[in-house]
A and B are shown apart, each in its own frame.
Chain A
Amino acid sequence: MRLTILHALLPALAVLAGPATAEDKTLTVYTYESFTAEWGPGPKVTEGFEKSCACKINWVSVADGVELLTRLKLEGPGSKADVVVGLDTNLIAEAKATGFFAPSEVDTSGINVPGGFSDDVFVPYDYGHFAVVYDTQTLQNPPKSMKELVEGDPSQKIVIEDPRTSTPGLGLLLWVRAVYGDDAPAAWAKLKERVLTVTPGWSEAYGLFTKGEAPMVLSYTTSPAYHMVSDNSDRYKAASFSEGHYVQIEVAGITKTAKDKPLAQSFLTYLIGPEAQGVIPVTNWMMPVAPAASPLPAAFNTLVKPEKTFLMSPVDVETKRKAYIDEWLAAMSRS
């Protein structure tokens, strides 16, 4: 009812904007924006896959992984997405609860991710360990463990992200929880002294870090690889923590409403195949989940390789996230 006026108005606008072009066989893939950026994996994956599929990939990209799930929920069952690329393990339980996704039925035997994650609906395509990245020019003795980070010199600051608004922020929250268990609030109360500020997202935090505002930032073990490969600089390094690192695994899934399921499946198979797995590390700056056709740049061999990986089950994340965030808020807000 309330749509009547709009129903009348909007088609007129649509005509002004020009008709959408339709291909005969199109695979609509929803993902986050940096995946489809010109330097992201999108262009090369498109080129590689379209060579063999006699189809066209129609990318629809949104800001980030969380936004991706929001978009799907807003669209409801009528979503045009055939494949969704870019959710992470922390979002899986919520994504499954929407009921939009179907079991992938893709052969994932070639996949090897730390933490031994496997799922019948979502297929991992890359991963990265969270890490404290530090500036070697201003920090000579980086923390060697979470304990050293928490208890270290409060005048050496770190910039972290907010778990209420960003995935790395949530990652650190779960990481501290994994290391400290129920003592996490006390650890946060101590770490608080070292926290310069808590930014809404990764970009703000990394921006402050590279401006030199703080010698440490919460990022990924793969961040130094970018600076080595693209900037030819080894100034920024990731600190290896003896307790282990929390992992972020990025996954892709097929929707129940996928128009051409075999096509969607062949896309996922391509995504975890040697060609795409060779592209992803140097475009998405994450680690491959399966053997790649082309060897990784030498910079990747110098990265921190966590001995132990933390990963909380998606269901636990969904049920306990709110309590953890409240705990974090209480510990961090105390003055």
Chain B
Amino acid sequence: MLAGAVCLAIVGLFVGLPVLSLLLSPVGGPLDGNALFDSYIYRVARFTLLQAVASTLLSVAFALPVARAMARQSRFPGRIWLVRLMALPLGLPALVAALGLVEIWGRQGWLNSLWTSVTGAAPISIYGLTGILLAHVFFNMPLAARLMLAGLERLPNEYWRLSANLGMGPVAVFRFVEWPALARLIPGIASLIFMLCATSFTLVLTLGGGPAATTIEVAIYQSLRLDFDPTRAVALSCLQIAFTGALLWIAARFAVVEDDSRTSGQRVRRFDGRSFGARLRDATTLFVFLVFTAAPLVAVVRSGLAADLGRLASDPQVHKALLTSLAIAGAAGVLTVALAASLVRARQQALSRRRAGPSALALASGISASTSLVLLVPPVVLGSGWFLLVRPIGDVATFAPYLVIAVNVLMALPFVVRVLDPAFAQHRSRTARLADSLGLSGWSRIRLIDWPVLKLPFLMAFSFAMALSLGDLGAVALFGSQDMVTLPWLLFSRMGSYRTADAAGLALLLGLICVGLTILGTMRGRAPLEPHHG
């Protein structure tokens, strides 16, 4: 628990210090109270929440049938690749994904060409709320499905055997088996998606069709970059956290908490979903999911293949950027998993005490809040604040890699917590008493009891964190220097100087690395407690 408290303090300081430094800096003027919450900000805040709520509902609603169909059909050729596909959009920079989506859904996209050639009517425009929702569902629905699938796959085999014995139909299985498990996960998943959508920037502006589609994040960026008004930027950030935090708090009231049951730990076998009707239904669901998620990625690959890949592959700048990206993302991945593991452990320990004292409860809720709300602190605020803090000490370029890693860790933390938390909780409820009765503790407990089971969630969490960091442009752009060029930075820089084909080639490279990471994240993607019998 002490480790957890220290980690929480580190997260708090990392976010708090830059905000303080921005507020105290001589460049920040006093806040004009009237100007902050004007009709512009009111409109922007309303739109931010509206699109974020809609995006979250749609993502979760579409993820549900996908996760259920995947869980039901536990064995079919290529299944593992569908699982990998779920984690793929995560690692793509928003702009790359937006251009991929446009190739499918845009005015000149594949769908519209079909539409116009069949009907002869004018192309349908996605620009506006439609485009924003489309992009947010593309990014977040697969993520939600992946997390839900992990939850369903953790369910003990006994449940399925029992529900088969009782002759439960799909409705009953959903109501008594699947829903209770998902209901526990959905608040966490939904809050994560909600925060991602509320702070969306590039997608909202690019596909939003006009300034009517503006998020608070855009206003924050504007106030810091264009108007250079740090006080207003911090005030707007607080507004963003307050709004979103309040909504999340209300949502959290609906969270269901339930204990995991013990299991014999046999390989999960599903007895439902074997009828022809069920198979057909699941196959249709998964096919729609496959087309929806993969088509924009195929478009990205297609543009990438048109690039001069040979030249890119032998370009020393690309090599350097690749190494820089891998080093930063690798470090961020390891640190995020370590940090998340201590936070999750501390929170569960604090809550598991029979009579949790106020300090333990405070620690637990502090950890819960911090692992959610950090996503709401705009990177541009963190970046500028840290810049002010570090500059008196030395050359910012020297610290830039560490700061980028730290910002990436913070950004990936909420994802990783959502992967590790349920896995830890289940593992704990299954093994805590056994381990205690065996007198196992310390290293031997980790080696014999924890690691074999938690290895898979750890790998999945690591691959998530690394993919997120790999695709991140924001943090690098803040401290940008010519000495630290990552792949997304190089991609954006080539795109910014007419080299669209190069950028497409680099997007393909990024995509391939993400595929590699999802393979890592799904290693031995079987039920965790598989006994060793040949």
A interacts with B: yes
Residues on A lying within 8 angstroms of B by beta carbon are 2-3, 6-7, 10-11, 13-14, 17, 20, 33-34, 36-40, 59-63, 66-67, 69-70, 73-76, 78, 80, 94, 155, 157, 162, 164-165, 192, 195-204, 206-208, 210-214, 223, 226-227, 230, 285, 322, 326, 328-329, 332-333, 335
**10 pairs of residues in contact across A and B, judged by CB atoms under 8 Å:** A2-B21, A3-B392, A6-B390, A37-B497, A39-B499, A67-B225, A74-B27, A165-B205, A197-B210, A198-B210
Specify the chain B residue showing the minimal Cβ separation from A167.
B226
Excluding A40-B497, A328-B211, 12 further A-B contacts by CB distance (< 8 Å) are: A20-B397, A33-B480, A37-B493, A37-B497, A60-B481, A69-B228, A195-B210, A197-B210, A211-B99, A211-B108, A213-B107, A214-B107
Task: Report the bound CA distance from A76 to B107 in whole Å.
Answer: 47
Q: Are B98 and A63 in contact (CB under 8 A)?
A: no
Mark the stretch among B55-63, B381-389, B458-466 that contacts chain A.
Answer: B381-389
Minimum Cβ distance to chain A for residue B236 (Å): 13
Whether A333 and B99, one on each chain, are in contact in the complex, defined by CB atoms closer than 8 angstroms, is no
B34-60 CB contact bits vs A (8 Å, 1 = yes)? 000000100100000000000000000
Q: Which residue, B20, B206, B227, B228, has most C-beta atoms of chain A within 10 A?
A: B206
Contact of B226 among A60, A164, A328 (CB under 8 A): A164
Q: Which residues of B contact A63 (CB under 8 A)?
A: 477, 480
The interface residues of chain B lying within 8 Å CB-to-CB of A210 are: 500
Ordered nearest first, which 10 A-B pairs have the shortest CB separation? A333-B212, A212-B108, A164-B222, A200-B205, A203-B496, A197-B127, A203-B495, A226-B498, A197-B209, A34-B497
Chain B residues whose CB sits within 8 angstroms of the CB of A328 once the complex forms: 211
Q: Is the CB of A333 within 8 A of B27?
A: no
Contacts of B205 on A, CB cut-off 8 Å?
162, 165, 197-200, 204
User: What's the nearest-Cβ distance from chain A to residue B102, in Å?
Assistant: 6
Contact size range, B: 35 or more
Is residue B271 contacting chain A, with contact meaning CB distance below 8 A? Answer: no
Contacts known (A70-B228, A206-B498, A213-B108); A164 close to B218, Cβ less than 8 A: yes
- Find out whether the CB atom of B225 lies under 8 angstroms from the CB atom of A165: yes
* Distance, CA A17 to CA B481, complexed state (A): 15
B389, A213: Cβ atoms closer than 8 Å: no
> Which of B174-182, B278-286, B339-347, B398-406 sits within the interface?
B398-406
> What is the bound-complex CA distance between A63 and B492, given in angstroms?
10
Contact A197 B207 (CB under 8 A): yes
Does chain A have a CB within 8 A of B26? yes
> How many angstroms between the C-alpha atoms of A230 and B208 in the bound complex?
32
* Complex: A38 Cα to B311 Cα, angstroms: 14
Does B415 sit at the interface, judged by CB under 8 A? no
Instruction: Please give, as numbers and ranges, the residues of chain B lying within 8 Å of A14 by CB-CB distance.
Output: 394, 398-399
Q: Which of B433-463 contact A (CB under 8 A)?
A: none
The reply on B122 being an interface residue by CB < 8 A is yes
**Secondary structure at chain A's binding surface: helix, strand, loop or mixed?**
helix
Q: Which B residues are within 8 Å of any A CB, using their own CB?
A: 17, 20-21, 26-27, 40, 43, 95, 98-99, 102-103, 106-108, 122, 125, 127, 131, 201-202, 205-212, 218, 221-222, 224-228, 317, 384, 387-395, 397-399, 401-402, 477, 480-482, 492-493, 495-500, 503
A17 to B402 CA separation, bound complex (whole angstroms): 10
Across-interface contacts of B221 in A (CB, < 8 A):
165
Main secondary structure of the interface of B (DSSP, over half): helix
In the complex, A226→B482 CA distance in Å?
24
Q: CA separation between A207 and B300, bound complex, in Å? A: 13
* Contact across chains for B482 and A61 when beta carbons are under 8 A apart: yes
Assess the B225–A192 pair: CB atoms within 8 A. no
A207 touches B95 (CB 8 A): yes
Question: Considering the chains assembled together, what is the distance between the CA atoms of A13 and B331 in angstroms?
Answer: 15
Q: Which of A13, A37, A197, A329 contacts B399 (CB 8 A)?
A: A13
- Out of B26, B27, B390, name the residue touching A10 (CB < 8 Å): B390
CB distance from A232 to the nearest CB of B (A): 13
Chain B: CB-nearest residue to A17 = B398
Separation of A60 and B399 alpha carbons in the complex (Å): 15
Known contacts A70-B228, A211-B103; is-contact A33 B493 (Cβ 8 Å): yes
- Shortest Cβ distance from residue A74 to the other chain B in the assembled complex, whole angstroms: 5
When the two chains form the complex, which single residue of A11, A60, A75, A202 contacts B482, counting CB atoms closer than 8 Å? A60
Known contacts A2-B20, A66-B226; A197/B99 CB under 8 A: no
Q: Is the CB of B106 within 8 A of A211?
A: yes
Q: Give the shortest distance, in Å, between A13 (CB) and chain B (any CB).
A: 6
Do the beta carbons of A204 and B206 come within 8 Å of each other?
yes
* A38 to B497 alpha-carbon distance, docked (Å): 11
A204 vs B384: C-alpha distance when bound (angstroms): 24
Interface core residue of B43, B481, B503 (most chain A CB under 10 Å) = B481
A38 to B317, CA, bound (A): 9
Find the residue from B212, B387, B401 having the highest chain A CB count within 10 A. Answer: B212
Closest CB in chain B relative to A191 CB, distance in Å: 11
Which of chain B's residues have a CB closer than 8 A to the CB of A2? 17, 20-21
A33 engages B482 (CB within 8 Å): yes
From residue B475, how far is it (CB to closest CB) to chain A in Å? Answer: 12
Bound CA–CA A326/B131 (angstroms):
25
Are B201's CB and A200's CB within 8 A? yes
**A70 CA to B387 CA, complexed, in Å:** 11
Complex interface: chain A residues within 8 A of B27 (CB): 73-74, 76
The CB with the most chain A CB atoms within 10 A, among B17, B98, B201, B496, is that of: B496
| Distance to closest chain A CB from B500 (angstroms) | 5
Instruction: Say whether, besides A3-B392, A6-B389, A157-B107, A62 and B480 are in contact (CB < 8 Å).
Output: yes
Min CB gap B332→A, angstroms: 16
Shortest distance between the CB of B231 and any CB in chain A (Å): 13
Chain B residues closer than 8 Å to A214, beta-carbon distance: 107
Q: With A3-B393, A197-B210, A333-B210 in contact, do A36 and B102 touch (Cβ < 8 Å)?
A: no
B222 / chain A contacts, CB cutoff of 8 Å: 164-165
Q: Which listed residue, B102, B211, B495, touches A162 by the CB 8 Å rule?
A: B211
A66: chain B residues at CB < 8 Å are: 225-226
Residue numbers in A under 8 Å from B499 (CB-CB): 39
With A and B bound together, what is the CA distance between A157 and B125 in angstroms? 11
Given A204-B95, A326-B40, answer yes or no on A7-B393 (Cβ-Cβ < 8 Å).
yes
Contacts of B398 in A (CB 8 A): 13-14, 17, 20
Chain A residues in 8 Å Cβ range of B211: 162, 164, 198, 328-329, 332-333
Q: Are A155 and B40 in contact (CB under 8 A)?
A: no
Complex contacts, B389 vs chain A, CB 8 Å:
3, 6
CB-CB < 8 A to A59: which residues of B?
482
Q: Name the CB-closest residue of A to B128.
A: A197
